[in-house]
Amino acid sequence: LLLPQIPRRSPYGESEYWEQRYAAVDTAFDWLASWEDLKQGPLASMLPRGQRILHLGCGNSPLGIDLYTDGYGTAGAASGGGIVNVDISESVIDQMAKRYEDTPQVEWAVGDVTNLTYPDSSFGVLLDKGTLDALLCKDTEAEKRRAALSLCDEADRVMAADAVFIIMSFGQPETRLKYLHRDGWAVQYEQQRVGEKNLFYYFIRKEPASSAQTN
């Protein structure tokens, strides 16, 4: 008698999974798409230069380095931290900091994207490439919603006036927009074909307080 198999839940929503994964593998890897792919799509036209950038849930992606090489994240670069990459895994942050120690303008920091330690209004650009997708792999709908809204709460807090938050995701609009609607955010989305998959971009512009109050 063959018993039905119980579907194995995805571990991607758990911080312990990522720490174990990155501790075992010391290589660079781009989730979803590389910068070479991304800049062929709508991202290049929506990503402002000259702004301090926070990359949320960077993992072992070289995106921050690629952006700096192409002239992004110049604000604050003279003193370090023009581009800040944050991830909950200490192992991967240590690896990436050592790998790119010759580029001090790109910072690597351990942190929880749902509970950031940065001051209010401290970044002009926030990037999420697959992090929201990972958070939505938690077990229950309540856990998924709590994690997604905490991410957005923290993003909203550290975004400067008129900042932009760009989420790159394999999730279709009907599964993502419900977490992104809030006062003071103007949201639009586009998609790009990358290999065999559709990559969705969710562009969020933080409206000035006076503008948000009148809408």
For the chain, domains (ranges, CATH) are: 29-214 (3.40.50.150)
pLDDT of residue 62: 96
Q: Distance between CA atoms of 11 and 19, rounded to whole angstroms?
A: 12
Q: Tens digit of pLDDT for each residue in 16-33?
A: 777 887 787 777 888 889
* Span 103-114, average pLDDT: 95
Q: What is the mean pLDDT of residues 102-112?
A: 95
Residue 187 — φ and ψ, nearest 5°?
Answer: -115, 135
Residue type, 142: A
pTM: 0.88
Question: What tens digit of pLDDT does each residue of 188-206 get?
Answer: 999 999 988 899 999 999 9
What is the phi-psi region of residue 109: left when phi exceeds 0, alpha when psi lies from -120 to 50, beta otherwise? beta
Cβ atoms of 159 and 126 within 8 Å: the answer is yes
Contact 115, 147 (CB under 8 A): no
pLDDT of residue 192: 95
Does residue 7 register a pLDDT over 70?
A: no
pLDDT, mean of residues 58-87: 88
Write out the two tokens for 73: 């994240």
Higher pLDDT, 208 or 89: 89
- Would the pLDDT of 13 be above 70? no
Give the residue-averaged pLDDT of 49-68.
95
Q: What pLDDT does 33 receive?
A: 93
What average pLDDT does the segment 44-49 reach? 90
Helix (H), strand (E) at residue 203: strand 197-206
Which residues are CB-neighbours of 204 under 8 A, at least 6 positions away?
155, 164, 165, 166, 167, 180, 185, 186, 187
**Sequence-ordered alpha helix ranges (H) in 100-140:** 131-135
- pLDDT value at 214 more than 60: no
Mean pLDDT confidence for 89-95: 96
Phi, psi of 63 (to 5 degrees): -55, -45
Confidence at residue 17, expressed as pLDDT on a 0 to 100 scale: 75
- pLDDT of 160 > 60? The answer is yes
- The overall average pLDDT reported for the chain is 88
